[in-house]
Structure 1
Amino acid sequence: MTLSISHYRAEWFADPRAARRDVLAGMVGTFALIPEVIAFSVVAGIDPEVGLFASFVIGIVIAVFGGRPAMISGAAGSVALVAAALVHAHGLPYLLAATLLAGLFQIVFGLMKLDVLMRFVSRSVRTGFVNALAILIFSAQVPQMLGVSWHSYAMIGLGLAIIYLLPKLTAAIPSPLVCVVVLTVVSMLIPMPLRLVGDLGRLPSSLPSLHLSQIPFDLATLRIVAPYALAMAAVGLLESMMTARVVDDLTETTSSKARECTGLGLANVAAGLFGGIAGCGMIGQTVGNVRYGGRGRLSTLVAGVFLLIVMVPLRPWIAQVPVAALVAIMIMVSISTFSWNSLRDLARHPKVSGVVMLATVAVTVGTHDLSAGVAVGVLLSGVFFAFKVTRMMRVTIDYDAASDTRIYTVSGQIFFASAEIFADHFDLRDSAQRVRIDLTDAHLWDITAVGALEEVASTMRRHGISVEIVGLNAASAILVDRHAPLMRERPA
């Protein structure tokens, strides 16, 4: 327990220098958070203040109970796409109920340690996920750059210049933060036709308060919200687990994915109680936070708290921030999120890995659904892996003239994908009187494999051939005894 408390304390305050970096990186994360939360709130059919309040609550709770330090979570991502259908069909009160139920589902998933399912997501799928998200982040900025005056393009260019050139002079203050301040001052001193943050939608004007849903909590309500809640929980966990894995890779550290599941569940329950939409890990903002020095839980907390400070007390000022500043930040986030090495790796890595990565990107970008892209990537990874293992199975055939015995020596894995190929190697009307099937270097994985072996043995025996099966390992023998006990018996 002492070690655990010490480790937890280190995640908050490693040293004063790290704490300073966490605070500044968290502030940058807030400015990267605002435009995406507002945009996804519009997608979900709710007021921006609902998403912003939820992001504040989620940020506070996940900083304390989450399993991945330096990870920023908020009300955005594919969760908003799932929520949109519920809001349009039944309204905001049902969304709040679904948010509460989604949080409870996630807590249960975390306690059951279902995070182990992430082990089935290959590196190619994770790379495709990251690249697709970078493309979606950039494409989300395109509407802000259409139908605008040249002043907007000039301000975006100035913002990008500050973001990329300032670090060459000093790294004392994150350049995105300087970008926001400078562009805001310039727009206030030099009047020009620019879109401001205040033009994106209604901003919070008060602190969030406890919000109890007015809908009846009965079976009819449960039937309405449960399917949406389960989908929101699954999509939210998927994005959060992927984001946590990306941070693990960037920081070369490990984290508790099960704790992240329960932490996100608690955060979403709290968001629902305060009238907010469910959220999940936000990879773009998280990558930006890590890139600018965020490593501890303090950066996650600052991102949430600073969001409330910025959006409520400083609401009149933040409303004057030009959208061009936020667009510049998000372009930087998309560029830093994209795995540029993956383009070079397409020529170096196995082709199937490239196909999986590109398919994940294509499906995600095409559907704007991160879960759909990952599902396709995982499915392709499984298919390609099964195909590769199937090709590794070998059957060699020898003949012992002295005993008139045909010997089939099998090596490799026999399962649903290779069972038919395995069976095709046998001559079911063999001219030899005896057949020996040596499985010493093989393994039977499922009932399909057992069924194939049983069919081969029984067919040969019907044709008067004596069949002997040898070399079954313990696991394969148990499978055979359970599902085909007569197969191992030899004819008299």
Structure 2
Amino acid sequence: MRSLSNYRQEWFSNIRGDLLSGIVVALALIPEAVGFSVIAGVDPKVGLFASVAIACVTAITGGRPAMVSAATASTAVLMGPLVRDHGLQYLFAATILMGLLQIVAGFLKLGRLMRFVSRSVMTGFVNSLAILIFIAQLPQLIHVPEVTYLLIAIALAVIYLFPYVTKALPSPLVAIVVVTVIALGLGIQVKTVADLGEMPTALPPFALPQIPWTWETLRIIFPYSIALAAVGLLESLLTAQIVDDLTDTPSNKSRECMGQGAGNIVSALFGGMGGCAMIGQSVINVTSGGRGRLSTFVAGAFLLVLLLVLDDILRIVPVAALVAVMIMVSIGTFSWKSIVDLKRHPGTSSIVMLATVATVLATQDLSKGVVVGVLLSGIFFASKVARLFTVTRSDDADSDTVTYRVEGQIFFASAESFIGAFDFSTAEKKIIIDVSQAHLWDITAVGALDKVVIKFRRAGVDIEVLGFNRASADMVDKFALHDKDERQAASASLH
């Protein structure tokens, strides 16, 4: 009963909002899918059919309701060399393998790795994507009739002012209709959807890639498939987290991995390219009222209807209207608060965010920006934790005993400071190292302890280490060099 209730909630709890938002998203998908097809070096129909297939399949199989997946720039840029060197059929084969790898990632629950992506990286990812979305509109803003700018301004005015009149209809959809009517009614000659490229006129056939199924083929496509799967999952999981935050609802990241894989496999079998989640269209969907799986399914299904049934209407929609929608997405996606937070937040957090943005803009690759951000976050975190430990010395003059009390985390980043906290020049009879308030995390920490003990013993000092917690004791038992037999006996009594 619970699963049936969840099913109804995810599909039918917001029918009107999901239907309307899905229509808006379908229109917004068209220029993106066509543009990404050009980036990949394939016909527009390859990107358009991919968007239909991936959106519809992930609506059913994915783990994040209301998130929109389709052909994307981040995957398209990786496909160009494969298409250029080996042809379209090899792209279909690589996309199928990409999907299989993503399904395996889902079974292995690799979505849990999102825990290692910090808020600063997320903010950098969002800001980078907002900038890339805006940059992608620039070709439609350069060397165009001046009336184009007027139409864009009208569309933006409708988008931002219409909600004050009523929220019953998504303002982006109203803006597209208004600009189209104005352009037709006044006979304004501007670029339309028909000018973006040849549109498909029939459903694509179901077919396996026409390639030799040999080890040589696998050798060619495997590196591309690995890269596509990794980039696709990374962008999808980050987008899922953003939609989680926008809707204040959870998602199943492992299921999302498998859903993305299923969508890509179906796309390739119907002549489409690979793709992943799209933050821009997902934001359009959510801000237009979409909350359930129905919104994503409608986006894919209505796009197919537009391509095959309403193509005559679709062709006359001015590109200016769609550009205005994407500018709205860019403005809404960018975290403007993050600019103010540069002064308020710790310097390391700001560096991580800016480095993520800079890397993405320099490489035009969202995944590389995230990798740089995660690495910097890890380095800064390790440096911060490394400073959160103390070694306190206390002397007992009557017994010539010195006790060092260690508190905090000992690992590769703090090991050198740990060693430096001891005075090896004194000649006490006995040294006691109390680690009851400390934790040894790795073999570097164990090696540092070995070095301290061996140095004191070489100086003729009697030394004792006590107070290991169970996890630290296990590490020392396995990897330490000093007093191995004695420590194993003590560990046996501890367990």
Which TM-score band applies after superposition, normalised by the shorter structure?
A: over 0.9
- Asked if structure 1 preserves the Cα contact closer than 8 Å seen for 2:450 and 2:481, the reply is no
Corresponding residue for 1:484?
480
Q: How does 1:168-207 map to 2 (within 5 A)?
A: 168-207=164-203
Corresponding residue for 1:13?
12
Look up the equivalent residue of 2:146 and give its one-letter code. Answer: W
SS at match of 1:293: coil
Deviations 1:172-223 (A, max 9, x none): 1111111111211222222333111111112111112212211111100000
- Asked if structure 2 preserves the Cα contact closer than 8 Å seen for 1:114 and 1:258, the reply is yes
Corresponding residue for 2:306?
310
2:381 to 374, 382, 385: 385
Q: Which sections of structure 1, spanning at least 5 residues, go unmatched? A: none
Corresponding residue for 1:135?
131
- Asked if structure 1 preserves the Cα contact closer than 8 Å seen for 2:454 and 2:482, the reply is no
SS at match of 1:379: helix
Kindly indicate whether residue 267 of structure 2 is the aligned counterpart of residue 253 of structure 1: no
Kindly indicate whether residue 76 of structure 2 is the aligned counterpart of residue 77 of structure 1: no
TM (normalized to structure 1)?
Answer: 0.97
Corresponding residue for 2:335?
339
Corresponding residue for 1:320?
316
Task: Work out the CA distance in 2 between the residues paired with 1:422 and 1:40.
Answer: 53
Task: Work out the CA distance in 2 between the residues paired with 1:8 and 1:377.
Answer: 37
Task: Work out the CA distance in 2 between the residues paired with 1:240 and 1:487.
Answer: 51
Task: Work out the CA distance in 2 between the residues paired with 1:255 and 1:299.
Answer: 16
SS at match of 1:207: coil
Corresponding residue for 2:153?
157
Task: Work out the CA distance in 2 between the residues paired with 1:402 and 1:28.
Answer: 83
- Asked if structure 2 preserves the Cα contact closer than 8 Å seen for 1:87 and 1:95, the reply is yes
Q: RMSD of the alignment, in Å?
A: 1.3
- Asked if structure 2 preserves the Cα contact closer than 8 Å seen for 1:405 and 1:434, the reply is yes
Deviations 1:383-439 (A, max 9, x none): 110010011111111211111112111111000111011111112233212111111
Corresponding residue for 1:272?
268
- Asked if structure 2 preserves the Cα contact closer than 8 Å seen for 1:468 and 1:488, the reply is no
- Cα distance, 1:379 vs structure 2: 0.5
SS at match of 1:396: strand
Look up the equivalent residue of 1:407 and give its one-letter code. Answer: T
Look up the equivalent residue of 1:340 and give its one-letter code. Answer: W
- Cα distance, 1:374 vs structure 2: 0.5
Pairs aligned (count): 487
Q: How does 1:45-444 map to 2 (within 5 A)?
A: 45-444=41-440
Task: Work out the CA distance in 1 between the residues paired with 2:33 and 2:338.
Answer: 28
SS at match of 2:468: coil
Deviations 1:125-164 (A, max 9, x none): 1111111101100111111100111111111111111111
- Cα distance, 1:368 vs structure 2: 1.0
- Asked if structure 2 preserves the Cα contact closer than 8 Å seen for 1:24 and 1:174, the reply is yes
Deviations 1:109-130 (A, max 9, x none): 0011111111100111111111
Task: Work out the CA distance in 2 between the residues paired with 1:105 and 1:490.
Answer: 48
- Cα distance, 1:76 vs structure 2: 0.8
- Cα distance, 1:490 vs structure 2: 8.0
Bigger mean CA deviation after superposition, 401-410 or 235-244:
401-410
Look up the equivalent residue of 1:304 and give its one-letter code. Answer: G
Change (3 A) 1:489 1:457: farther
Task: Work out the CA distance in 1 between the residues paired with 2:316 and 2:248.
Answer: 39
Change (3 A) 1:490 1:232: closer
SS at match of 1:98: helix
- Asked if structure 2 preserves the Cα contact closer than 8 Å seen for 1:467 and 1:490, the reply is no
Task: Work out the CA distance in 2 between the residues paired with 1:130 and 1:138.
Answer: 12
Deviations 1:278-297 (A, max 9, x none): 11000010011001110001
SS at match of 1:378: helix
Q: Which sections of structure 2, spanning at least 5 residues, go unmatched? A: 488-495
TM (normalized to structure 2)?
Answer: 0.96
SS at match of 1:435: strand
Task: Work out the CA distance in 2 between the residues paired with 1:490 and 1:8.
Answer: 60
Bigger mean CA deviation after superposition, 77-86 or 120-129:
77-86
Task: Work out the CA distance in 1 between the residues paired with 2:360 and 2:97.
Answer: 26
- Asked if structure 2 preserves the Cα contact closer than 8 Å seen for 1:466 and 1:490, the reply is no
- Asked if structure 2 preserves the Cα contact closer than 8 Å seen for 1:244 and 1:255, the reply is yes
Bigger mean CA deviation after superposition, 375-384 or 313-322:
313-322
Task: Work out the CA distance in 2 between the residues paired with 1:480 and 1:77.
Answer: 49
Look up the equivalent residue of 1:461 and give its one-letter code. Answer: R
Look up the equivalent residue of 2:3 and give its one-letter code. Answer: S
Look up the equivalent residue of 2:361 and give its one-letter code. Answer: V
Task: Work out the CA distance in 1 between the residues paired with 2:343 and 2:232.
Answer: 33
SS at match of 2:18: helix
Task: Work out the CA distance in 2 between the residues paired with 1:437 and 1:488.
Answer: 17
- Asked if structure 1 preserves the Cα contact closer than 8 Å seen for 2:404 and 2:433, the reply is yes
Look up the equivalent residue of 2:303 and give its one-letter code. Answer: L
